[in-house]
Amino acid sequence: TVLPAEPEIMGSDKTKVYDGQPAALDEVWLKGVEDMPAPAGEVRYEYFMDAACTQPVPGSGGSSIVDTGGVGNADGAGGLAGTGVTDAGKYYCRVTALPNTGNYREVSEIYNVTVEKAPAAISLRVTAIDKNQADNIVTIHGKLQGVFDNPTGTVKILMRKSAKDGQKTEEYRTAAEDILVTEMNGAYGFTAKVHVGPDGVYDFKAEYAEGDKKNYKVYPGELTEIDMNKLPQHIDFDTHLMQMPYGSDAFGIQVNEAEAPGSGAVTYRLMEHMGTQGAVTVTSEGTVEILDVGTAFVMAVKRGDDSYNGAVSVLCIRVTKAPVTLSIEDKTVVYDGKPQSIQASPVPFFTPVT
């Protein structure tokens, strides 16, 4: 009795950051018995919410046809893994090999597919201060950077009196809440009117709460030292999301100061404890140097002066993996009945500096 052999499914887990596009398992390979052709047939991909594979992900999955490979530990390509999954979360992809020959039997493997939340930050600006001796009203506009579809969440505005030199900082208190994030001219943001109280200098913070979709890790936005007796001004990056491949040369960033008549200087800094630590460095003048793959947030700060409050704007920089091509040389041999091989060498996008 000759029993069918068990083919080996060769693949790996997949992790990506949410970008609004489906995340599918990378292609798998089927490996057969040594010195025999690799199995051909169908490879089926099914995505599930649970490790037991009892809760399918709606609208995901698919199958592909595997061509027969060569001999001697040769592999057969398994194709791309269907439509994949989109929203942030941890999923399980069951890969099933269905050989079209009786020499191999059906076999399955389960791989993890993880879609991480996309980092984003809230950029705040004061658009108006309605003066009233008993109750000043501040209009705050916020914008969410680096998002790919409607965040569907809400925002809470917190405030406190700014600490004077040598004084203890007050705790933040809720000033407005349940503010819906909506689409505004192709971006997503919100507007809130905050009852501040009497004249003084205040700090504001905006915190995001997730809605139905939980695809974003949104860092709070802050405004500090907003004086009720000064005028608002505004600075803004032309784009709030920049994608650069790893290995790119250093580059400069600059905010638009058309709505910032104050005399204060603009400086740039990384927002600490946000995004990927060590992905980039930035000088106070706005020169960015890429160090690693990841996400970084850069804040532009225009200092206030005697007449105008300070202003801030936030830029999200995503450093993506550098593209790599393969270099292959032609090879000519005399037929001897044995398998032949060729060598491929990767050609990186840039030459690393050591």
Quick count: other Cβ atoms within 10 Å of Cβ 107?
A: 17
Half-sphere exposure of 319 (CA within 13 A, CB side): 23
Cβ atoms 82, 58 nearer than 8 A: no
Provide the terminal-to-terminal Cα distance of the chain, rounded to the nearest Å. 60
Whether 77 shows a pLDDT value over 50: the answer reads: no
What pLDDT band is residue 286 in, cutting at 50, 70 and 90? very high
Element housing 222 (H / E): strand 221-227
Q: Are strands 14-17 and 107-116 parallel, antiparallel or unpaired?
A: parallel
Over residues 242-266, the pLDDT tens digits come to: 889 999 999 999 999 999 999 999 9
In this prediction, residue 74 carries a pLDDT of 39
Express each pLDDT in 324-348 by its tens digit: 777 777 888 888 777 777 777 776 6
CA distance to 128, 151, 174, 190, 350, per residue, from 147 (Å): 26, 7, 26, 14, 29
Confidence class for position 214, pLDDT limits 50, 70, 90: confident
Is this model's pTM higher than 0.95 or not? no
Q: Considering only residues 75 and 333, tell me which one the structure prediction assigns the higher pLDDT.
A: 333
HSE, side-chain direction, 13 A CA sphere, residue 339: 11
User: How many Å apart are CA 305 and CA 261, to the nearest integer?
Assistant: 10
Question: Which residues on adjacent β-strands are paired with residue 313?
Answer: 300
pLDDT-based confidence at residue 69 (cuts at 50, 70, 90): very low
d(CA 229, CA 332): 82
Can you tell me which residue has the tokens 């996400």?
295
What whole-number distance in Å separates Cα of residue 266 and Cα of residue 286?
9
Residue 34 phi/psi, 5-degree rounding, is -55, 140
State how far the Cα of 324 lies from the Cα of 158, in Å rounded to an integer. 47
CA–CA dist 312, 125 (Å, integer): 7
Tell whether the model's pLDDT for residue 167 goes beyond 80. no
Give 354's pLDDT tier (boundaries 50, 70, 90).
Answer: very low
Exposure b/e, 206-227, CB count within 10 A at least 16 = b: bbbeeeeeebbbbbebbbbebb
Maximal CA-CA distance, the chain: 97
- Selection from 80, 109, 107, 106 nearest residue 93 by Cα: 109
CA–CA distance, 211 with 208 (Å, rounded to integer): 9
**What pLDDT does residue 83 have?**
76
- How far is CA 75 from its chain centroid? 34
Per-residue confidence (pLDDT) for residue 173, from 0 to 100: 94
Confidence of residue 75 (pLDDT cuts 50, 70, 90): very low
Q: Which of 49, 84, 57, 18 is nearest to 216 (CA)?
A: 18
Q: Give the model's pLDDT for residue 206.
A: 96
Which of 81-90, 125-134, 178-187, 227-236 holds the top average pLDDT?
Answer: 227-236
Query: Over the chain, what is the mean pLDDT?
Result: 85
Q: Are 111 and 92 in contact (CB under 8 A)?
A: yes
Question: How far apart (Å, rounded) are the C-alpha atoms in residues 334 and 162?
Answer: 82
- What Å distances lie between residue 289 and 7, 53, 242, 261, 270, CA to CA? 47, 44, 13, 30, 12
Residue 47 pLDDT level (bands cut at 50, 70, 90): very high
